[in-house]
Amino acid sequence: MQDFSYVNAQTLSEAVALLDENGEKARILAGGTDLIVNVREARRDVDLMIDVKSIPEVNVLDYDANTGLTLGAAVECYKIYAVDAICDAYPGLIDATKIIGGTAIQGRAGVGGNLCNASPAADCIPPLIVLNATCVIAGPNGERELPVEQFCTAPGQTALEKGEMLVSLKIPAPASNSSSFYLRFIPRNEMDIAVVGAGASVTLDDAKQTIVSARIALAAVAPTPLFAQDASASLVGREVSEAAIDDAAEAAQAIARPISDMRGTAEQRTHLVGVLTRRALNGAIQRIRD
């Protein structure tokens, strides 16, 4: 491990200026549960760590039943699932925050960091995609917004330009008769990274029989988490049925382009996309009906 400098940035503009000055070898430090491990294991070369935990904007956790959720990029997982209203509104996101690491890691790690780490297998990203989250990004030229499904560009790579950082995530208020669900497959019951992850959000009609809208997203089956657009669209207007869900699962499998590695084989992953998509959709529907 090589020496690096550390700055505890107090404002967004300070952090952005430091990022702009130092380029690639400057990294944002929030929870540090990925960054510090990567530096220690020599997987990432860092000259400057910019700690953003003192910046007010990245610590915002604000939920309003009409306007939705603003989730600061450095808010730790445990703070999110401690708020009952957020748990009720976005159960799919809560599913993810509760399975990232153990309790100790959830005390440090946050959803924003999980997104910026841009792992194809990140548990938080499919729920953000199915919940229509928007990234609020600060940079040398001011703020901009980006749909979360466009944020990751390759393993470990994001749409952030030089000098840019993630400030917060905005998630719209949930529609009535809607819910969300996330699950992953791991060979053990803990301590693993997703072999495949699947998230779903579903909105039903007032009779809770017909699907008004749905979104499906997948993890660990492509270089970035995927929004399964066709699979999602295939459900709109259909009665809740095994056939409708099987069709969506099949459409989701069609966009998976997984690799074989030490966590699973490509065939296994493609198969699991079908299984998990069904389970995620059924899970979300069950939550609406309960």
Partner 1 sequence: MTEKKEYKVIGTRPIRHDGVDKVTGRALYGADFQMTGLLHGRVLRSPHAHARIVSIDTSRAEAYPGVKGVATAQDLPDAEDRIADLGEGAVNLKYLCDNILASDKVLYKGHAVAAVAATSPHIAEEACTLIDVEYEVLPPVLEVRQAMEADAPLLHETLKTTSMGETADEPSNVASHIQHQLGDPEKGFAEADIVVERDFVTGTVHQGYIEPHNATAHFNQDGQLTIWCSTQGAFTVREQVAEILQYPISKIKVVPMEIGGGFGGKISVYIKPVAALLAKKTGKPVKVLMNRADVFEGTGPTPASYVRVKMGATKEGKITAAEAYLAFEAGAYPGAPVGPGAMCIFAPYNIENVIIDGYDVVVNKPKTAPYRAPGAPNAAFGSESVVDEIAEKLGIDPLEIRLRNGAKEGDRRADGPVHPRIGCIETVETAKAHPHYTAPNGQKHHGRGVASGYWFNIGLESSVTINVNADGTINLIEGSTDIGGTRSSIAMQAAEVLGIPAESVNPSVVDTNSVGYTAVTGGSRTTYATGYAAYEAAQDVKRKMIARAAKLWEVDEDNVQFADGEFSCINGKEEQISFRDLCGRLGQTGGPVVGSGTVNPGGAGGAYATHIVDVAVDEETGKVEILRYTAVQDAGRAIHPSYVEGQIQGGAVQGIGWALNEEYIYNDEGTMTNASFLDYRMPTCLDLPMIDAVIVEVPNPGHPYGVRGVGEVPIVPPMAAIANAIYDAIGIRMTELPMSPDRLLKAMGKI
**Which lies closer to partner 1 via its Cβ, residue 104 or residue 236?**
104
> Residue 21: is it exposed, middle or buried by C-beta count within 10 angstroms (0-12/13-18/19+)?
exposed
What's at 143, amino acid-wise?
E
**Which lies closer to partner 1 via its Cβ, residue 40 or residue 208?**
40
Q: How far is the CB of 28 from partner 1 (least distance, A)?
A: 23
**Which lies closer to partner 1 via its Cβ, residue 83 or residue 275?**
275
Q: How far is the CB of 85 from partner 1 (least distance, A)?
A: 29
**Which lies closer to partner 1 via its Cβ, residue 146 or residue 275?**
275
H-helix or E-strand spanning residue 241: none
Q: How far is the CB of 111 from partner 1 (least distance, A)?
A: 21
**Which lies closer to partner 1 via its Cβ, residue 66 or residue 189?**
189
User: Given the DSSP bridges, would you call strands 61-64 and 68-72 parallel, antiparallel or unpaired?
Assistant: antiparallel
Q: How far is the CB of 279 from partner 1 (least distance, A)?
A: 8
Please report, as ranges, the residues that interact with partner 1 according to CB under 8 A. 1-2, 185, 187-193, 195, 261-265, 267-268, 270-272, 275
**Which lies closer to partner 1 via its Cβ, residue 207 or residue 243?**
243
Q: How far is the CB of 2 from partner 1 (least distance, A)?
A: 7
Full DSSP string of 152-210: EEETTEESPPTT-EEEEEEEPPPPTTEEEEEEEE-SSSSS---SEEEEEEEEE-TTS-B
End-to-end Cα separation, the chain, in angstroms: 51
**Which lies closer to partner 1 via its Cβ, residue 44 or residue 271?**
271
Q: How far is the CB of 208 from partner 1 (least distance, A)?
A: 26
H-helix or E-strand spanning residue 215: strand 211-219
Full DSSP string of 63-115: EETTTEEEEETT-BHHHHTT-HHHHHH-HHHHHHHTTSS-HHHHTT-BHHHHH
User: Given the DSSP bridges, would you call strands 26-29 and 48-51 parallel, antiparallel or unpaired?
Assistant: parallel
* Contact yes or no for 276/258 (Cβ under 8 A): no
Neighbour count for residue 56 (Cβ, 10 Å): 10
Q: How far is the CB of 255 from partner 1 (least distance, A)?
A: 18
